[in-house]
């Protein structure tokens, strides 16, 4: 089954309440919260995303899918666990060593969230193979993390195929999420390659009808 996670990174100020309620009616499977610290990526969305996540938690029953683009993962987990996220994903590039990766995995489990690990476009997906038995999701970045509205890097299709083949061969059960430049043109390609959770920001927020675009992305 394919699920859709709506990124609210490109949401205009002042449209929050209406958008969150409409996304719930349109049955997005998750709201994707892009947490940026101004260090791991240039932009800093930390406080805004914290406010948004708390607001969504009060206003809706939508599951939260937290994407940490931060250097200090431990602090971010402490900050975001209060909104009871369904998924917390961190970047492998932000971890010093294997011990730190395992520490983050266990800390997220302690917060009763599912664990995701993300790889940037230039990071070989093999780098996360050894952690797959301990996590729930792999997030393949299909653009350079940092901003919404970019174009999917087509080489990433092969990366998705590669990890899909590996998890099938090893009979590991992990979700494959893709993030960046997902729209009606690219969605069929990433699904065909093996992705089963699609993050989409601009494609959904700029659509006329959230329900229709979410259904079309899944189809
Ligand atoms: C990029 C973020 C993405 C981004 C997706 O750093 O991780 O979640 O907001 O936005 P679109 O779908 O507009 O590419
Ligand atoms: Zn994201």
Q: What are phi and psi of 22, to 5 degrees?
A: -65, -35
9 pLDDT band, cuts 50/70/90, is very high
Which residue minimizes the CA distance to atom 6 of ligand 1? Answer: 145
pLDDT value for 181: 98
pLDDT value for 139: 99
pLDDT value for 5: 99
pLDDT one-digit tens code per residue, 164-210: 999 999 999 999 999 999 999 999 999 999 999 999 999 999 999 99
pLDDT value for 81: 98
How, if at all, do strands 87-91 and 3-7 pair? unpaired
128 near 103, Cβ under 8 Å? no
Rounded Cα distance, 109 and 139, in Å = 17
Q: Which residue from 178, 205, 201, 173 is spatially nearest to 189, judged by alpha carbons?
A: 178
pTM: 0.98
Ligand 1 within 6 A of CB of 121 = no
pLDDT value for 4: 98
105 near 115, Cβ under 8 Å? yes
27 pLDDT band, cuts 50/70/90, is very high
pLDDT one-digit tens code per residue, 47-56: 999 999 999 9
pLDDT one-digit tens code per residue, 78-128: 999 999 999 999 999 999 999 999 999 999 999 999 999 999 999 999 999
pLDDT value for 173: 96
| Nearest-atom index, ligand 1, CA of 201 | 12
Ligand 1 pocket test, pick from 201, 202, 206, 210 with the greatest ligand atom count within 8 Å of Cβ, gives 201
From the candidates 29, 37, 65, 179, which is the catalytic residue? 179
**CA 165–ligand 1 middle distance (angstroms):** 25
pLDDT one-digit tens code per residue, 59-81: 999 999 999 999 999 999 999 99
């Amino acid at each position: 089954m394919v699920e859709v996670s709506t990124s609210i990174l490109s949401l205009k100020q002042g449209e929050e309440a209406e958008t969150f309620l409409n996304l719930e009616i349109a049955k997005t499977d998750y709201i994707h919260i892009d947490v940026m610290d101004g260090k791991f990526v240039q932009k800093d969305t930390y406080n805004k995303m914290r406010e948004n996540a708390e607001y969504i938690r009060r206003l809706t029953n939508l599951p939260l899918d937290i994407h940490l683009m931060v250097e200090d993962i431990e602090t971010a987990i402490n900050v975001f666990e209060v909104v009871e996220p369904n998924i917390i994903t961190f970047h492998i590039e932000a971890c010093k060593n294997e011990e730190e990766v395992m520490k983050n995995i266990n800390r997220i489990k302690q917060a009763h969230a599912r664990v995701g690990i993300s790889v940037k476009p230039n990071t070989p997906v093999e780098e996360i193979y050894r952690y797959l038995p301990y996590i729930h999701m792999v997030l393949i970045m299909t653009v350079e993390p940092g901003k919404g509205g970019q174009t999917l890097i087509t080489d990433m299709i092969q990366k998705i195929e590669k990890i899909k083949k590996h998890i099938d061969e090893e009979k590991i059960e992990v979700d494959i999420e893709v993030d960046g430049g997902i729209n009606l043109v690219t969605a069929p390609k990433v699904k065909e390659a093996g992705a089963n959770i699609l993050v989409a920001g601009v494609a959904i927020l700029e659509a006329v009808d959230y329900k229709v675009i979410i259904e079309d992305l899944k189809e």
